[in-house]
Chains A and B, each alone.
Chain A
Amino acid sequence: MSVSPIGRETARVDGPLKVTGRAPYAADYHPDGLVYGHLILATVGRGTVREMDVSLAEAAPGVLAVYTPFRSIRIINDFAGRGAENYTVLQDTTVRFRGQIIGLVVADTLERARDAAALVTAEYTSTTPRTSLADSGPGTSPGAEQVLAPGVGSIDEALASAPVTITTTVSQHAQHHVAMEPHATTAVWQDDQLTLYCGSQGPQRHASAIAASLGVEPAKVRVIARYTGGGFGSRVPAWNEAKLCAAAARALGRPLKVVLTREQLFTTVGHRSAVRQTVRLGAESDGRLIALSHESDAEMPAVAGWPLMPAEGTSAVLYRTPNIRIDQRLVTLDTPSTWAMRGPGEAPGAFAVETAFDELATRTGIDPVELRLRNYAVREPLGGRRFSSKYLDQCYRVGAMRFGWDRRPRRPRSRTDGDWLIGMGMATAIYQGGRGSSSARVQFRDDGRVTVASGTSDIGTGAWTMLAVAGADALGLPVAAMVPELGDSALPPGGSAAVGSGATASTVPAVQAACRSAVTALIRAAVENPRSPFHGLDPADVRYRQGRVSSGRRSMGFRDLLRAMGVPDVQAVENTEGIDRDGPYAFQSFGAHFCEVRVHRLTGDIRVSRFTSVFDVGTVINARTARSQLIGGIIWGIGGALLESDPIEPDGRYAAANMADYLVPVNADVPAIDVHWLDHPDPQVSEVGARGLGELGNVGSAAAVGNAVFNATGIRVRDLPITLDKLL
């Protein structure tokens, strides 16, 4: 009996290609006749392009074409309320935000395209853009949601009645995904068929969006995104650069590659909205909540984008309270498109509510862990549904023990080590644990291997390996016998995109279903094929087990069986449905973060010195990649707390639109991180019981850092990031 690989440590199957540089990313393709494109971006925040002088660029060596709003190329608006941006690139002269694409130069080499682009000048008529949440807010509410106890007239009334009240207002500027691979597109037309190499979190969605913007049948576009250098949300939509690249390649009749510069990425592929939030807590003196209010103002760019809703995934589902109200407002600004970024609303939302809880703990003198246990929810406080499976209380207890929470200084700024102030903080992690629809194809092959294919994407999540592990488990074969396939829109329709921490939870059930059907198909072939030793038998008398087909004393491995039958492969495709999001259960993954920081007494320098997190995510499919994702999420929280911020200037220019100014964590910012998970499969989500974990680590981790900084210094910083100047 082979041991199932589910939950064990399986090395990434794509590892050897990635460590040798042989994994091809979008910009690594070199089709014959390739030419290069370089984008031109607007340098005013709002206005109109009056004219552009392209004469020098056109006369520059090697230049093949210069596209501008005045010399455009037809692209169709495919927004329909679901894309990222509501306008169509180069179809008019309006400048909607600073850094909008207003041109594309194509030349025979990269250097020539880049230089020629720098020769293009633009004249604008400009007006002052709206860039400030504070000046343009409060925003428009899509509708506040609330639950009030019988007899309570309003949330304000409930808060006013509470013996203890806390009001916490937190704020943060824009943040950026900063995937290491700049968005790149290599477009190759052959006859009227387009192959588009690009990074993508969902190649099938990508292909349909590109097809719509080009006005061609979806079947005419194939998106290949086998290796994607990070996504974090920024590779969910097909952005304008990809559409422009595809359209220009068609117009020129040449394969075209457009790679965005790092600086261009800051305004062209989405960002996490700036957001201001106010959490108000009303509690008994023993810490039990009477009321919770969570309000927010976030950007809604005039060009559309992702609405940042920080309360619905945090305060609305976290703690038991008889009175709760959330109001998530959106402020219209002339900023680049916002888009979901890892823990899109949850990461900022958890910073707000978990900071407020720390303030409540301080005010009431109750230990922060105990305070959370006293307010433990078994139902959604706003929606009222029971959780499918919840062991958050164990996360708190196990985490506290592993971390040594009992050694936390009770009084802020009371522990030192030389010139360093030591502090400890904790916070809760929560992220929806849903499962969507998916599809998979499983194929027994006459070389003794099995193809396990799904139209999903691996953006670093480990999906390649997940397919192999799920197939190996379902078929009782070694992981090494699996040949995973993904990242190709030509795979069976209905693959799960790598979004919402749901790709694994969605795809594993599809692989299992396809494996069962492939086994059925193999047995059917075995009894029907005249060259098969099982020919003529009743399929009910033929068994499949661990790669072998047997009946009575006859037994044969599937490879030999296929060869005997003269059949190269036997395959099956299955589609699986997701869980009902409006069904009886609320699906959430949970965790508890514990953090120790050291803050220099004289310089304010902040070092995260220890981190322990314990998670409840249902079944873990691959321990190795799961640990990496959880650790990555935690480090994102460290970055969010201490480093990441892009203030916008009044003219619409981002102040930190490069990797030297927009700081993300580097190796020296990160201590050893202790990640642990509980082993409680979720019986409601699927047979395998996996709920998903890609974003969970990033939720609450920034608050744990902030709470530790408060414990170390006695200073509560509510405007992120917590930089040393705020501690002096």
Chain B
Amino acid sequence: MPVVTQSEGMSRRELLSRSGVVATAVATVPLIGADALAEEAPGEVGVRMTVNGTVTPLTVDPRETLLDVLRERLRLTGTKKGCDRGQCGACTVHVDGERVVSCLTLVATLGGARVTTIEGLADGDRLHPLQQAFIDHDGFQCGFCTPGQIMSAAAVIEDGRARTDDQIREQMSGNICRCSAYPGIVAAVQQARKEMR
């Protein structure tokens, strides 16, 4: 009988040390406010980003994704991990006004960046028009993909790229909803789009 040896995953540390691209990117990112990062230990990276309007200095393991930092360190758990591979869109947030999948965004690259999450979308207790529209049109069921859907929709509306239903469907297709609330999502984006003009 054959003997098989398992050594499937390369660790991300190995990957970082072997991959010139990633390692260089980490090393050359301009760290705005790096002077405030005296605590930086060997192998760690100091980053100061603005999260939902609050300046947030952090010392991070270079492997840490924006998603994991938001969830595990800043306790902003509204942003969800659906796949960790950029395949589902549940982790969508805004970086400098653009939608990104936070699972494929390393925090070490975000010095000086403005990050907005679902927690930063509402105006105090007043729901953002998209949040209200998702409720009005039942644009979700289990609610797990919803923060990502809403953040994606906000960027799509802001871009002005989605006017017709078909354009909205296309632009929102990076955000999977397994409950399949898609028709409600399209209706919600249409309603909010008119209110946000």
Residues on A facing B (Cβ under 8 Å): 11-12, 14-25, 27-28, 30, 42-44, 47, 50, 109-111, 114-115, 117-119, 121-127, 177-182, 227-232, 259, 261-262, 459-462, 624-625, 627-629, 631-632, 635-636, 658-660, 664-670, 672-673
Contact = CB atoms under 8 A, between A and B. Distances in A.
B6 A668 contact: no
Kindly name the residue among A47, A117, A462, A632 whose own CB sees the greatest number of chain B CB atoms within 10 A. Answer: A632
B177 interface: yes
Kindly name the residue among B63, B150, B182 whose own CB sees the greatest number of chain A CB atoms within 10 A. Answer: B182
B142 A20 contact: no
A669 B170 CA distance: 9
23 contacts: A16-B131, A18-B146, A19-B134, A19-B147, A42-B6, A114-B12, A115-B13, A126-B4, A227-B143, A229-B80, A230-B144, A231-B142, A259-B81, A261-B84, A262-B83, A460-B140, A625-B141, A628-B179, A631-B184, A658-B83, A660-B87, A667-B170, A667-B172
B7 to A, nearest CB: 5
Contact of A11 (B85, B136, B168): B136
B135 A12 contact: yes
Interface in B67-88: 68, 71-72, 75-85, 87-88
B178 A180 contact: yes
Nearest to B64: A111
B3 A123 contact: yes
A181 B142 contact: yes
A280 B51 CA distance: 62
A670 B183 contact: yes
Nearest to A181: B144
Interface string B155-182: 0000000000110111011111111111
B5 interface: yes
A257 to B, nearest CB: 9
Given A18-B140, A50-B3, A667 B186 contact: yes
B40 interface: no
A180 B144 contact: yes
B191 to A, nearest CB: 13
A631 B180 contact: yes
A382 to B, nearest CB: 32
Interface in B44-70: 61, 63-64, 68
Nearest to B13: A115
A236 to B, nearest CB: 15
A262 B176 contact: no
A122 B8 CA distance: 10
- Interface class of chain B by DSSP: loop
Interface string B1-38: 11111111111110000000000000000000000000
A178 B178 contact: yes
A228 B127 CA distance: 23
B118 interface: yes
A677 B137 CA distance: 18
B6 A124 contact: yes
A632 B185 CA distance: 12
Contact of A179 (B4, B9, B178, B184): B178
B173 A659 contact: no
Contacts of B182: 635, 665-667, 670
B144 A24 contact: no
A658 B77 contact: no
A312 B79 CA distance: 42
6 smallest CB-CB distances across A and B, nearest first, come from A21-B78, A229-B144, A460-B142, A460-B141, A18-B143, A118-B9
Nearest to B12: A115
Given A659-B85, A667-B175, A111 B145 contact: no
A232 B178 contact: yes
B98 interface: no
B169 A180 contact: no
A109 B77 CA distance: 16
B83 A659 contact: yes
Contacts of A461: 141
B95 interface: no
A668 B168 CA distance: 8
B115 interface: no
B11 to A, nearest CB: 4
Interface string B112-146: 00000111011000010011101110101111111
B90 interface: yes
A460 B143 contact: yes
A543 B187 CA distance: 45
B11 A19 contact: no
Nearest to B77: A28
Given A667-B186, A668-B169, A459 B1 contact: no
Contact of B77 (A21, A126, A665): A21
B141 A628 contact: yes
A15 B119 CA distance: 15
B118 A44 contact: no
Given A18-B143, A27-B81, A667-B169, 7 more contacts: A19-B127, A118-B11, A124-B6, A180-B144, A180-B145, A667-B173, A668-B169
A628 B81 contact: no
A24 B12 CA distance: 29
Nearest to A257: B72
Contacts of B183: 631, 670, 672-673
B142 A230 contact: yes
A125 B5 CA distance: 9
Contacts of B10: 118
Nearest to A697: B180
A124 B3 contact: yes
